[in-house]
Structure 1
Amino acid sequence: MANSALLVMDVQRDIVDIADDGSGYLPRLRKAIDGARAAGIPVIYVVIGLRPGHPEVSTRNRVLTNAVQAGLFTEGDPGTEIHHDVAPQQDDIVVTKRRGSAFSGSDLDLVLRARDIDSLVLAGIATSGVVLSTLCRAIDLDIGLTVLVDACLDTDPEVHRVLTEKLFPQWADVVSVEDWLNAISRSSAAKL
């Protein structure tokens, strides 16, 4: 699959504050973003944003109801901004979603089709949330997938481990940021 994009998902200030364990997550993610840009791979940011008053949140959706009660995800709030350590550049695309998957309530599919992108590299917070949901939807859309294991983060390290070691490898290439950067570097060199 020749046309790839790096998806940087839900790396928003409030989410990073909750999930970042001090393990160097943001610098690793920054390295992946910089490497993608250097290789000419588009970087697409995905954020969750809910309208003020949250008309799109059903009380049957436990995750969003709890998030709203905790004061999270309202569009325009400072906590919904993409973390400044990995902020988008002028040519990057930012997609707003309304649910767990990057595809839910967003125009991501339209953006991918318009750019003829048929392969995604997934990074983001949380592994058990946006990464899992997006991966499942992308499979149904016949999109090629790579998961950057150390550019994904979850509040539960065991859940992250099980997903990235047992489940995701059934559907996607699961690699480290370093291995992915080496692969795209070799691919770029081969084209010269």
Structure 2
Amino acid sequence: MHSDNEKTALLVMDIENGIVSRYAENGEELSPVQQAVAAARENNMQVIFVRVGFSEGYPEVNPRNPAFTRIAENGGMTLSDEGTQIHESVQPQENEPIVTKYRVSAFAGSNLEMILEALDIKTLVLTGIATSGVVLSTLREAADKDFSLKVLKDACLDGDPDVHRVLTEKVFPQQADVLSVNEWAETVN
């Protein structure tokens, strides 16, 4: 096993039914995410799933937050709702935490940082939907928390291909190694 693997966590972010249904029309778009999860598991690396979800009645939603106010008005995306469950293509295994966040960043209102600290994780490998949402926000916050970062560009999806390209080619490389799933998988064996 690669010596750094036990200090590395693969974050599978917002690959939940209610978000996948908006970005991935057929399951093919999730194939790189599935490959990344398989590579992490094969190499004894921690996999952590991150989802967004709210309590019944949406007490976490501030009326000044337009995006989350729309969710509260439309209903759904509560913790028990089908929309907030991890997509069947990447079902968590035992000992793979599911972290619930209440904003865009994986750290926002969640116990992610506590889990990473308890597991002595130093490097985060980011995947998720959307590149301009959870991936960008989590990358920025994780960089400020001094994590070593990798982004798996083909395991991130965004509604706007140009925004995805600019982030993965110009913005993310300032704070992270940006790789394809295959390039990354070769480094963890």
1:110 to 108, 114, 122: 114
User: Unaligned stretches of 5+ in structure 2?
Assistant: none
Query: Which residue identity does 2:84 align to in structure 1?
Result: T
CA RMSD of aligned residues (A): 1.4
1:9 to 6, 9, 13: 13
Q: Give distance in 2, aligned partners of 1:167 and 1:23.
A: 28
- Counterpart in 2 of 1:91? 95
- Counterpart in 2 of 1:141? 145
- Counterpart in 1 of 2:86? 82
Q: Are the structure 2 counterparts of residues 162 and 70 from structure 1 closer, same or farther at C-alpha, using a change threshold of 3 Å?
A: farther
In the alignment, structure 1 residue 44 sits paired with structure 2 residue 48: yes
User: Unaligned stretches of 5+ in structure 1?
Assistant: 186-192
Displacement of 1:68: 2.5
Displacement of 1:56: 0.9
After superposing on structure 2, the runs of 4+ consecutive aligned residues of structure 1 that deviate more than 3 Å are none
Displacement of 1:28: 1.4
Displacement of 1:25: 2.0
SS in 1 for 2:45: coil
- Counterpart in 1 of 2:177? 173
- Counterpart in 2 of 1:188? none
The alignment of Structure 1 onto Structure 2 pairs a total of residues equal to 185
Query: Which residue identity does 2:79 align to in structure 1?
Result: E
Displacement of 1:22: 4.0
Counting aligned pairs with the same residue, the percent is 50
Displacement of 1:157: 1.2
Q: Give distance in 2, aligned partners of 1:32 and 1:90.
A: 17
Q: Give distance in 2, aligned partners of 1:180 and 1:27.
A: 15
Q: Are the structure 2 counterparts of residues 118 and 132 from structure 1 closer, same or farther at C-alpha, using a change threshold of 3 Å?
A: same
Displacement of 1:144: 0.4
